[in-house]
Amino acid sequence: MLQLDLVIHNSTGLHARPARVFVDLAKQYQSAIRIRYGEKQANAKSLISVLTLGVPSGERVQIDVSGDDEQTAAAAIEAAVRDGLGEGPTTNGHTPGAPAVTDQHPEAPAPPVHHGAPAAGAIMHGTPGAPGIAVGPVFPFERAHVEVRERFTGVEQENARLQSALDAARNQLTSLHAQVAQRADASEAEIFQVHQEILADPALMDTVRAAIADGRSAAEAWHDATTGHAAELAELSDALLAERAADIRDVGARVLRLLTGAVEAAPTLPDEPVIIIANDLTPSETVALDPQRVLGFCTAVGGPNAHTAILARALGLPAVVSAGPGVLQIAAGTQVILDGSAGTLTVGPDESVIARARAAQQQQRELRAAAAQSAGEPAITADGHRVEIVANIGSLKGAKDAVAGGAEGVGLFRTEFLFLERKTAPTEDEQFAVYRDVAQAFGSMPVIVRTLDIGGDKEVPYLDLPHEDNPFLGERGVRLCLTHPNLFRDQLRAIMRAASFGKLRIMFPMIADIGELRAARAIVEEIRAALGAPAVEIGIMVEVPSAALMADVLAHEADFFSIGTNDLTQYTLAMDRMHPTLAAKADGLHPAVLRLIKRTVDGAHAAGKWVGVCGELGSDAQAVPILIGLGVDELSVSVPAIPAVKAQVRTVTLAECQARAEYALACATAGQVREGKIDR
């Protein structure tokens, strides 16, 4: 065994990002690695356990490494700690560039403070969680308290009890995963896989088993371990990690109910539909909300990127999150208006305000119904310009929903979802079956299959990818495919074999340079020739600024472009698209992004090629006319957005869109584009 004695110089200590970097590094080695701080010690491969140590800046930790690769593991850990665990090397004992020591996120707005019950007519501000307006009485959500009365009956018995509760929880999560995949899509269902990972967290299990060995019942041991870990995570200054506390509480409560025989936590709701108010809701509680009885919900804490908000959006449930503790003071039965797009809750509004909200709600409903009725018709502007409206999908179910929902094809098939939910890569035959079924579902309509886009935030554990300090700037998308030729070739063979069952096109993600396009294209051509398959169109995603700037050059060698505005915005503004505070500012309507879109369209059209948009911007009602005005030929949007986008296209003229685009290009900020006001 090797022992290291190191000082953590990071200004926030071993928390947040440095902790993640540390744990990811430890996981790469087979050796057992433990980290000790004072009296406390942790398994270095468990994030929640390392976070729970709470090592502050300037403190000394001891690290024990034992196993076959202990030499290399210890050397790598020592170097990583010395290099600042992803925050840069230390000088004079401090990490340059790191924020000052603070427990608060510097940019995070202070939560609103309310004293006593809010007055009638008060508008409480939170963060938009899921769009839609709801009007109704408040129902305070009280989580059934689970009493832990179980007494210790012996180590073996308690361990067996724990094991069977964990097995049952795993089964429940598998079926919840299937249920949500059915109601929403594979990507939202992944949340319940994260929960399965928490169930298997080595440190959590160590803590629970140690407590059982000390004479605590399985229920007591489990309850203490999960509530303790969740409370520590909730305190963290890294908002993304803090949002994961809700996931630990959720898994904690699930297993505890199984251990104590308590019934499922769903409260009994009144017959009249209500608006739920809660401190926070767990993802399982959100999925369990009966859509017949719940109009929407508002939580005091939480965030737009937490799993609860993601699920609300997928399930079409209006939601406001992070509205502050004041919302918990609202008396049961009080009428409120919840506006999930504005992120507001109006308490006890008078009749005229309620009437206005109901009218807005009614209008939204009518527009949705009218749009749904004509979803099968093409989207043609009032002056006769046709825009193709196609779907973003991630599964065969998504493909079937898209056909039923009026999609004119698929503009983006995110194939990585076939790879994410498993322990090994799907075989060529497995992939072929999915691509063939999707191609057949669309018949003669085009389906653009995007080749694997993993790396960045999409991790695939079985590929054993090396740790990267900046994964969004690392080996992701086509770069990763070119360095993993077997993975890439299997996928391309599967696509080429499926191509004769419909109208498939291939698209490469994250192209930054023409060399990558040439290399990827050459592999496709080689496989096509070997299989004797028909030629397919080959396009690229324009989501790296260099590709937009070089569009005129790339257009000679790509058959089409599809602009990934999610990544193009992130890379243009240098703002992480997942960042809890920056993500809201990373607006694709920023004139810098719009200028890159224009450059892409001009480059493509000059070479006779077409351009689509497949990022979220394509379904943003303020962006749709601007994108059309910039010359975008196709919009690829999420399946539920198809009818509304088509309906909107029919209400505008191309000339009006062009004027709006010209105006937007002349603005200085995204805010000005959205307000329609040039002010410089």
Q: Which residues bind ligand PEP (CB under 6 A)?
A: 412, 414, 453, 543, 564-567, 614-615
Task: Tell me if residue 307 is catalytic.
Answer: yes
Closest C-alpha among 577, 523, 579, 517 to residue 542 = 517
Site string for Mg ion, 526-555 (x = CB under 5 A): -----------------x------------
Q: Are 440 and 478 in contact (CB under 8 A)?
A: no
Q: Which is nearer to Mg ion, 134 or 449 (CB)?
A: 449
- Nearest approach in angstroms of CB 415 to Mg ion is 13
Q: In 38-151, which residue ranges form alpha helices assigned H by DSSP?
A: 47-53, 70-82
d(CA 287, CA 176): 9
Beta bridge partners of 62: 5, 36
d(CA 79, CA 286): 43
- Indicate which of Mg ion, ligand PEP, none lies near residue 9 (CB less than 5 to 8 Å, by partner kind): none
Beta bridge partners of 36: 41, 62
Residue 567 as a binder of Mg ion (CB under 5 A): the answer is yes
Residue 411 as a binder of Mg ion (CB under 5 A): the answer is no
| Strands ordered across the beta sheet of 60-66 | 2-7, 60-66, 32-37, 40-43
Region binding Mg ion by CB under 5 A among candidate stretches 8-16, 233-241, 493-501, 556-564: 556-564
Q: Which is nearer to Mg ion, 543 or 620 (CB)?
A: 543
Query: Of 307, 481, 590, 667, which one is the catalytic site residue?
Result: 307
d(CA 316, CA 183): 10
Among residue numbers 587 through 606, which ones bind Mg ion (CB under 5 A)? none
- Nearest approach in angstroms of CB 566 to ligand PEP is 3
Q: Residue 333: left if φ>0, alpha if ψ -120 to 50, beta else—which one?
A: left
- Nearest approach in angstroms of CB 73 to ligand PEP is 33
- Indicate which of ligand PEP, Mg ion, none lies near residue 243 (CB less than 5 to 8 Å, by partner kind): none
- Indicate which of ligand PEP, Mg ion, none lies near residue 159 (CB less than 5 to 8 Å, by partner kind): none
Query: Of 481, 614, 657, 667, which one is the catalytic site residue?
Result: 614
**Residues 13, 406, 564, 629: which binds Mg ion (CB under 5 A)?**
564
- Nearest approach in angstroms of CB 516 to ligand PEP is 16
Q: Tokens representing 646?
A: 């088509």
Residues 6+ apart with CB under 8 A from 565: 543, 588, 593, 597, 613, 614, 615, 616, 617, 618
Q: Tokens representing 576?
A: 């992480």
d(CA 453, CA 458): 8
- Indicate which of ligand PEP, Mg ion, none lies near residue 565 (CB less than 5 to 8 Å, by partner kind): ligand PEP
3-state secondary structure string across 587-640: CCCCHHHHHHHHHHHHHHHHCCCEEEECCHHHHCCCHHHHHHHHCCCEEEEEHH
- Nearest approach in angstroms of CB 511 to ligand PEP is 12
- Nearest approach in angstroms of CB 414 to ligand PEP is 5
Residue 616 as a binder of Mg ion (CB under 5 A): the answer is no
- Nearest approach in angstroms of CB 178 to ligand PEP is 23
Q: Which is nearer to ligand PEP, 139 or 413 (CB)?
A: 413
- Nearest approach in angstroms of CB 615 to ligand PEP is 3
- Indicate which of ligand PEP, Mg ion, none lies near residue 227 (CB less than 5 to 8 Å, by partner kind): none
Q: Which is nearer to ligand PEP, 138 or 597 (CB)?
A: 597
Q: Is the dihedral of CA 575, 518, 415, 198 positive or negative?
A: negative
Q: Which is nearer to ligand PEP, 49 or 565 (CB)?
A: 565
Beta strands at 60-66 and 32-37: parallel, antiparallel or unpaired: antiparallel
Q: Which is nearer to ligand PEP, 543 or 620 (CB)?
A: 543
Q: Are 123 and 336 in contact (CB under 8 A)?
A: no
Q: Which is nearer to ligand PEP, 632 or 654 (CB)?
A: 632
Region binding Mg ion by CB under 5 A among candidate stretches 181-189, 256-264, 309-317, 558-566: 558-566
- Indicate which of Mg ion, ligand PEP, none lies near residue 247 (CB less than 5 to 8 Å, by partner kind): none
Q: Which is nearer to Mg ion, 64 or 567 (CB)?
A: 567
Q: Are 226 and 252 in contact (CB under 8 A)?
A: yes
Region binding Mg ion by CB under 5 A among candidate stretches 259-267, 557-565, 586-594, 619-627: 557-565
d(CA 63, CA 299): 40
d(CA 578, CA 597): 22
Q: Which residues are catalytic?
A: 307, 614
Binding residues vs Mg ion (CB under 5 A): 543, 564, 567
